[in-house]
Chain A
Amino acid sequence: MKVLVTVKRVIDYNVKVRVKADHSDVDLANVKMAMNPFCEIAVEAAIRLKEAGIATEVVAVSVGSASCQEQLRTALALGADRAIQIDTPDNPESLEVAKLLAALIQAEQPSLVITGKQAIDTDNNQTGQMLAALLDWPQATFASAISLSGEQLEVTREVDGGLQTLSLSLPALVTTDLRLNEPRYASLPNIMKAKKKPLEVKTPAELGVSLKAHTRLIKVEAPAERQAGIKVDSVEALVDKLRNQARVI
Chain B
Amino acid sequence: MSDYKHPYRDALFVLNELVDFDKLCAEHGFADANLELVSAIFDEAGKLGSEVLAPLNRVGDTQGVSLTEKGVQETAGFAEAYHQFQESGWPSLTAPEAFGGQNLPNVVGTAVNEIWHSANLSFALCPMLTQGAIESILHHGSDALKEAYLSRLVSGEWTGTMNLTEPDAGSDLAAVKTRAVPNGDHYLITGQKIFITWGDHQMTDNIIHLVLARLPDAPFGVKGISLFIVPKFLPDGSRNDAQCVSLEHKLGIHGSPTCVMSFGDKGGAIGYLVGEAHKGLAYMFTMMNHARQGVGLQGLSIAERSYQQALQYAKDRLQGTNKDGSRYPIIKFPDIRRMLMVMKSATEAMRALALVSAAEIDRAHGSEGEAAQTHQNRVELLTPIVKGWLTELAQEITYLGTQIHGGMGFIEETGSAQHYRDARILTIYEGTTGIQALDLVGRKTLVNKGEHLASLLEEIGQTLSALEASGQFPVQAKALRASLADGQAARQLLLDKSAEDAALAGSISVNYMMLFGYLCGGWLMSQAALKAQALLEANSGDPAFLNAKLTTSRFYAEHLLTRTGSLLAVIQAGSASILALPEDQF
Question: Do A and B touch directly, given a CB cutoff of 8 Å in the complex?
Answer: yes
Contact surface of A with B, Cβ cutoff 8 Å? 14, 29-30, 34, 70, 73-74, 77, 185-192, 194-195
A138 to chain B, nearest CB (A): 34
- In the complex, how many angstroms separate the beta carbon of A3 from the nearest chain B beta carbon? 22
Q: Establish whether residues A192 and B90, one from each chain, have CB atoms under 8 Å apart when the complex forms.
A: no
Chain A residues in 8 Å Cβ range of B90: 188
Q: Is the CB of A189 within 8 A of B89?
A: yes
Other-chain contact of B88, A14, A29, A185, A195 (Cβ < 8 Å): A185
A-binding segment of B40-48, B421-429, B485-493: B40-48
Residues of B within 8 A of A187 (CB): 44, 87-89
The smallest C-beta distance from A91 to any residue of chain B, in angstroms, reads 20
CB distance from B145 to the nearest CB of A (A): 24
Q: Mark B76-97, 1 if CB is under 8 A from A, else 0.
A: 0000000010011110110000
Partner pick for A185 among B48, B93, B102, B544, CB 8 A cutoff: B48
Is A191 touching B5 in the complex (CB atoms < 8 A)? no
- What residues of B have a CB within 8 angstroms of the CB of A14 in the complex? 5
Q: Which of B26-59 contact A (CB under 8 A)?
A: 32, 37, 39-41, 43-44, 47-48
Given contacts A30-B544, A30-B545, A77-B44, contact A188 B88 (CB under 8 A): yes
Q: Is the CB of A185 within 8 A of B44?
A: yes
A14 to B8 CA separation, bound complex (whole angstroms): 14
Q: Which B residue sits closest to A196, measured CB to CB?
A: B32
B542 touches A195 (CB 8 A): no
With A14-B5, A30-B542, A195-B32 known as contacts, the answer to whether A186 contacts B37 (CB < 8 A) is: no
B5 pairs with A189, CB closer than 8 A: no
User: Besides A191-B37, A194-B40, 7 other CB < 8 A contacts?
Assistant: A14-B5, A74-B43, A185-B47, A185-B88, A186-B88, A188-B90, A190-B89
Q: Which residue of A lies closest to B41 (CB)?
A: A191
Please name the residue on chain A nearest to B47 by beta carbon: A185
In the assembled complex, the CB of A223 is this many whole angstroms from the nearest CB of chain B, namely: 21
- Determine which of B5, B40, B545 lies in contact with A74 in the assembled complex, contact meaning CB atoms within 8 Å: B40
A-B contact list, 29 entries, CB within 8 Å: A30-B544, A30-B545, A70-B40, A74-B40, A74-B43, A77-B40, A77-B44, A185-B44, A185-B47, A185-B48, A185-B84, A185-B88, A186-B40, A186-B44, A186-B88, A187-B44, A187-B87, A188-B89, A188-B90, A188-B92, A189-B89, A189-B92, A189-B102, A191-B37, A191-B40, A192-B37, A194-B40, A195-B32, A195-B37
Most A CB within 10 A of own CB, among B40, B41, B84:
B40
A77 to B93, CA, bound (A): 15
Chain B interface mostly? helix
> Digit string of B544-574 for contact with A (CB within 8 Å is 1, else 0)?
1100000000000000000000000000000
Q: How far is the CA of A29 from the CA of B39 in the complex (A)?
A: 18
Distance between Cα atoms of A77 and B39 in the complex (Å): 13
Interface centre among A73, A187, A188 (most CB of B within 10 A): A188
Chain B residues contacting A191 (CB-CB under 8 Å) are 37, 40-41, 44
The answer to whether B32 touches A192 (Cβ under 8 A) is yes
Shortest C-beta distance, A75 to chain B (Å), equals 11
**Best-buried of B5, B39, B88, B92 by chain A (most CB within 10 Å):** B88
The complex places the Cα of A124 from the Cα of B157 at a distance, in Å, of 44
5 tightest CB-CB pairs across the interface, nearest first?
A: A30-B542, A188-B89, A187-B88, A187-B89, A189-B89
A77, A185, A195 — most chain B CB neighbours (10 Å): A185
B binding-site residues for A, Cβ under 8 Å: 5, 32, 37, 39-41, 43-44, 47-48, 84, 87-90, 92-93, 102, 542-545
Q: Smallest CB–CB gap between B5 and chain A, Å?
A: 7
A185–B47 CA distance with the chains assembled, in angstroms: 8
Report the bound CA distance from A186 to B47 in whole Å: 10
Q: What A residues does B87 contact at CB under 8 A?
A: 187
Alpha-carbon distance A185/B5, docked complex (angstroms): 16
Q: How far is the CA of A98 from the CA of B37 in the complex (A)?
A: 31
Could you tell me the distance between the alpha carbons of A222 and B77 in the complex, rounded to whole angstroms?
40
What's the least CB distance linking A132 to chain B, in Å?
Answer: 31
Minimal Cβ-Cβ distance residue in A for B34: A195
Q: Is the CB of A192 within 8 A of B102?
A: yes
- Complex alpha-carbon distance, A77 and B43, angstroms: 12
- A191→B47 CA distance, assembly (Å): 14
Q: Give every chain A residue within 8 A of B47 (Cβ-Cβ).
A: 185
CB proximity of A82 to chain B, nearest CB, Å: 17
Chain A nearest CB from B317 CB (Å) reads 16
The CA of A188 and the CA of B45, in the complex, are separated in Å by: 9
Residue of B nearest to A189 (CB): B89
**Residue on A with the closest CB to B87?**
A187
Q: Is the CB of B37 within 8 A of A188?
A: no
- Residues of B near A29 (CB, < 8 A) are 542
In the complex, what distance in Å separates the CA atom of A208 from the CA atom of B316?
53
Q: Which residue of B lies closest to A183 (CB)?
A: B47
Which chain A positions have C-beta within 8 A of B542?
Answer: 29-30
A31 to chain B, nearest CB (A): 9
Q: Once the chains are docked, how many angstroms separate the CA of A103 from the CA of B102? A: 39
Q: Residues of A contacting B5 with CB < 8 Å?
A: 14
Is A188 a contact of B41 with CB atoms below 8 Å?
A: yes
A34 CA to B5 CA, complexed, in Å? 14
Distance of A190 from chain B, by nearest CB (Å) = 8
Q: Do A34 and B37 form a contact, CB below 8 Å, given A188-B102, A189-B89, A195-B32?
A: no
CB distance from B526 to the nearest CB of A (A): 24
Once the chains are docked, how many angstroms separate the CA of A70 from the CA of B88? 20
Q: Would you give the shortest CB distance from A180 to chain B, in whole angstroms?
A: 19
B106 to chain A, nearest CB (A): 15
Q: Which residue of chain B has the shortest Cβ distance to A195 in the bound complex?
A: B37
Q: Chain A's nearest CB lies how many Å from the CB of B551? A: 17
Minimum Cβ distance to chain B for residue A181 (Å): 15
Q: For the complex formed, measure the closest distance between the CB of A229 and the CB atoms of chain B, giving whole angstroms.
A: 15
* Of listed A34, A186, A195, residue having the most chain B CB within 10 A: A186
Q: Please, how many angstroms separate the alpha-carbon atoms of A195 and B43 in the complex? A: 15
Min CB distance B566 to A, Å, is 39
**Using Cβ atoms and an 8 Å threshold, which residues of chain A touch B48?**
185
**A135 → chain B, closest Cβ, in Å?**
32
Decide if A34 touches B43 in the complex (CB within 8 Å). Answer: yes
**Distance in Å: Cβ of B371 to nearest Cβ of chain A:** 28
Residues of B within 8 A of A188 (CB): 41, 44, 88-90, 92-93, 102
- A53 CB, nearest partner CB in chain B, Å: 20
Per the bound structure, the CA–CA distance linking A200 and B48 in Å amounts to 29
Residue of B nearest to A69 (CB): B36
Q: How far is the CA of A124 from the CA of B147 in the complex (A)?
A: 55
Given the complex of chains A and B, what is the CA–CA distance between A29 and B102 in angstroms?
Answer: 34
Q: Which residues of B contact A185 (CB under 8 A)?
A: 44, 47-48, 84, 88
| Minimal Cβ-Cβ distance residue in A for B112 | A188
Within the complex, the shortest CB–CB distance from B112 to chain A, in Å, comes to 9
Residues from chain A with a CB closer than 8 A to the CB of B92 are: 188-189
Closest to B545 in A: A30
Return chain B residues, CB-CB under 8 Å to A77.
40, 44
- Nearest-neighbour CB distance to chain B for A15, whole angstroms, equals 10
Q: Write out the residue numbers on chain B whose beta carbons fall within 8 Å of the beta carbon of A195.
A: 32, 37
A194 CB contacts on chain B under 8 angstroms: 40
In angstroms, Cα B545 to Cα A30, docked, is 9
Q: How far is the CA of A73 from the CA of B84 in the complex (A)?
A: 21
Bound Cα distance A73, B43 (Å)? 12
In the complex, A185 Cα to B45 Cα: how many Å? Answer: 9
Tell me, in angstroms, the Cα distance from A188 to B102 when the chains sit together.
8
Interchain CA distance A29-B545 in the complex, whole Å = 12
Complex CA–CA separation, A160 to B545 (angstroms): 44
- Count chain B CB atoms within 10 A of each CB in A29, A187, A190, A192 and give the residue with the most: A192
